[in-house]
Amino acid sequence: MKEVSNGEGDIGRTHLYLNVYDLTTINNYLYWFGLGIFHSGIEAYGMEYAFGAHDYPTSGVFEVEPKSCPGFIYRRSVWLGTTDMSRSEFRLFMENLAGNYYGDTYHLISKNCNHFTDDVCRHLTGKPIPGWVNRLARLGSFCNCLFPETIQATSLDRLANDPANSDDGSESVVSLTMESDEEGSEHHLLLPPTINQVCSEDKPLRLARDIM
């Protein structure tokens, strides 16, 4: 595909990919039946964007290096199409959309990471993500017993609590930029352009509930 520069270093067209991860080894069996408990993120312009839970009324959208979301097992990537947005336009789009996905509004059945990636995909391509990615959540809206009791939310807590993400192996505290020792990657929470995040220093921010 030909990518066109807008003269300011931005690229005027890029591919969109859905990166899918396993949340549980049960997927090794469910996958062949078109089911599974998955985490997903949207990859574009060299970064991956996803949504997860935390306890504050601020954005739960974050970015990581593609195919390397900590704590999840990468399964596969699905090509979704392309967007004509430049890099800066795409970034602004994601920041604005983050205002609709606060961490404390995350719900495994009705508003999870796959709902977020589906929303992005519909906005940019006019099509949904593949149905198998979030099928179990749709079935779960009719029967909660389909999900293991230990699974409460997509775990972004792995970004903060994974020993690889702190120098001394201790739990990370509030930070908009979480640096990982693994290949020097960084994990950023995205905030809407007009919103400032305020967190109490005496109450560490849990970027998501640990589900496994």
Residues assigned a catalytic role: 39, 113
Q: Own/partner pairs for 8-14, CB < 8 Å, 24+ apart?
A: 8/88, 9/87, 10/86, 10/87, 10/88, 10/89, 11/45, 11/86, 11/87, 12/84, 12/86, 13/82, 13/83, 13/84, 14/44, 14/45, 14/82, 14/83, 14/85, 14/87, 14/90
Calpha distance 41→95 (Å, rounded): 15
Residue 2 identity? K
Calpha distance 168→154 (Å, rounded): 25
What strands lie across the sheet with 47-51, from one edge to the other?
Answer: 73-83, 14-22, 38-44, 47-51, 61-64, 186-189, 177-179
